[in-house]
Structure 1
Amino acid sequence: MRQYVSRDPVTLTVPGAGATYTVYATPATVDTDDTVLPFYNAADPSVTYAGADNSGKTAPTVRQDVVQIGIGTSVPTGAYPLWTVTVAAGATAITADMIAQAAGAPFYATIPELASTAYVDAGLATAASNLSAEAAIRAAADATLTTNVNARVSGAYGVGTGMYDGKALIQGAAGPSFCYNNGSADVWLGLLYGVQSSISGGTRTTINGQKMLIYYINNVEGTNFQITFPESFSAVPSVFVTATSEFTTNLSAWINIVAGTVTETGFEVNVNANEPGEASTHGAGVWVFAFGAA
């Protein structure tokens, strides 16, 4: 907060009669009392200067917060209203009853005003009114939120007949687990969790220690063709294969896994074109689906 002062009496001329005028104050911060100040040479302190850089120029020595008092039919931008002067038509002099404090005038309350219970009660009434309005807004917002939640959640917090509230969801060394109470005891359930990533020609999906490889191979042909998994399994997996049409000829292709050849690292296939028993010599595309212990 800053205070501004008008140090000298000011005489204002009322522009005319038959109008209401406002006496206003325009605040400003001014630097005054210019004086040639003494300086010294930083390189040689024994040498004194008159003014900065020995220029002989003056510099202000006093900073004041002052106001300029004015009167008009409106308050200029940056000014503050102080009093209103209502001059009747034909009036030739200004009397005290024509002058009233302007709305929004930046005056402190007087001691009698501060002591008045009416002054305090007015402030309390305003605060109470604002608080009541805010409480009404909050209540309306809460009611809307409750309605929206109830419209989307069935039962009490989403728990219906034969259902139980959850108590915990944790991540342990063996994977995530969920706990609920069935009414007499806590029940823990292990949750499936998986990770999917890319391999050559396809994807790897790992779920609770099991993995599935799905990938595509080009140019598989002939009999006892060796297919090696992009990565090995810890035990012999289950394998399924399917072939596309034969390259170049676009003939239908059949594929079968050679019995007894599936291992943790791969397997062998026979690829036949056009009809079973006719070995493919042009190659076909093959989709491999392998599932087993990671």
Structure 2
Amino acid sequence: MFKRIIVLLLCLFSVQAFCQSELEGIKKEVKNLQGTLAVGNYWDYIYTSDQQNNGEGTVLHDPKVDVLNLYRVTLMIDRFGYPTMAAYNYPINMVPWLVWTHCPATALKQYTFPIILKGKELGQLPEGFFPNYFVGGFLLNAYGQDMEFDQSFGEGTASIIATALQHFEKTAGKIDSQKVAAKATAYLVESQLSIQKELGQWRMVQLDNTTYFKIVQLQNNNWYLSIKGEHTEPVLHRVLPDLKRMQFKPSEGFGLFYFEITGAKLQLCNAQGKVIKTSL
């Protein structure tokens, strides 16, 4: 048992050190950029990296690339400002919101949502995308449910998207690159951990799409919700467990919903305890 703990700690420290080294290298890259041409070229580099990992025809998708690219975006905006069509050629003005959308790490997406708010303020977001595409995408990522088109989650000003947007606006502040680095490192380390306990597997069908759920405990003894779409890799989300009630509240998502295991079923409940969705 003691040897297993030592091996686990060494593995964690090794992965963490490697991630921190990569982040430090990115920080130096951005710091060394000089002149408009170099800055524009680096934005182009981020865009190319994003599209190679997420664009049409992508065969091997690496979530790590998306996490590192979001870190790059936060550093670039902090040092050089949000890229606009007035300052750079297309598609550079798209890079911040594209990269934010593709990042799988919910904690990172929630913390860096000011990127989307800034894009809205500067008129750099696609017409008609705000707020549903971005807030709805975040909620889909966090809870595994499409809350933009499913009327179970309300409509218009009474929708859960409107509620989540209010939370985003209330908590928006200046993005601290050190906090982004810490959240990125945490996600990348967690993605390397093995499952030591699993409470079950479930699936929910919504709008003809099937989403697969697991609740697992990883080697670090923390509990996670695994969400996998029909055509996407599973994504882990930290949850706070109440094992007596078998309730699991995602760490991100503003506490709007929680999951509960009832018999053989997994249920998605709103903050008031109302069951919104039940697994098959």
Structure with a larger share of its residues in helix: 2
**Which of the two has higher C-alpha Rg?**
1
Q: Which has the higher strand share?
A: 1
Q: If the length of structure 2 is used for normalisation, what is the TM-score?
A: 0.18
TM-score, normalised via structure 1 length: 0.17
